[in-house]
Chains A and B, each alone.
Chain A
């Protein structure tokens, strides 16, 4: 079974440019998460989707970040415009809410460098 797929794996952009990350969760997983991991730190949740609904976006900087999960499967996270401080690894995870553990499975991440 395929795991969580993310693309691109790496992205280098100039500040003030837009950037988008794509995530395809494990088949059948209804919950999708976007995390941001700064260098030397643990990941922090940006947004959580239950199917196509964003149920927790309290940590998403809404002035420049946006996300969507059309049809409740794939998701896209966008930054516009990017700032130097946005350089980080963006991780996508998915889980099946109906299970007891609701274990989250992570993708390989997208490493963003803003110059």
Chain B
């Protein structure tokens, strides 16, 4: 069974600081990995999707890297803003499976 871990569980930073969120997974036979954002009481918004053949994906201030061999992904958010405050979840999809296995998330607070 794929186990997905996100550390730390919570993070508080001052505005303008860069954010580094970590995700680790136990089974490296992945098809792709997604990073989601979840605001309180809301659903999941997809931020970035990295296919297993890719090393990283970028969108604006967001950059996600993938190292399958070590079972790790990192989400970088540059120059954080109070609007970045949310819970960030990573989810892994294995080959030959459609199910997403989620981590518990990292709750980020950006202080103005």
A binding-site residues for B, Cβ under 8 Å: 4, 6, 31, 33, 40-45, 48, 56, 91, 93, 95, 97, 100-109, 111
Contacts and interface: CB of A to CB of B under 8 A. Distances in A.
B100 interface: yes
How many B residues are at the interface, by size bracket?
A: 20 to 34
Query: For the complex, would chain B's binding face be called helix, strand, loop or mixed by DSSP majority?
Result: strand
Contacts of A40: 104
A115 B7 CA distance: 33
Interface stretch (B41-49, B58-66, B68-76): B41-49
A4 to B, nearest CB: 8
A59 B93 CA distance: 16
Contacts of A4: 43
Contacts of A48: 98-99
A100 B50 CA distance: 12
A98 B95 CA distance: 15
Contact of A42 (B32, B41, B46, B102): B102
Contact of B91 (A6, A42, A109): A42
5 contacts: A42-B4, A101-B32, A106-B36, A106-B44, A106-B46
B34 interface: yes
Given A104-B100, A107-B43, A109-B42, 8 more contacts: A6-B43, A31-B98, A41-B102, A42-B104, A45-B99, A95-B98, A106-B43, A106-B44
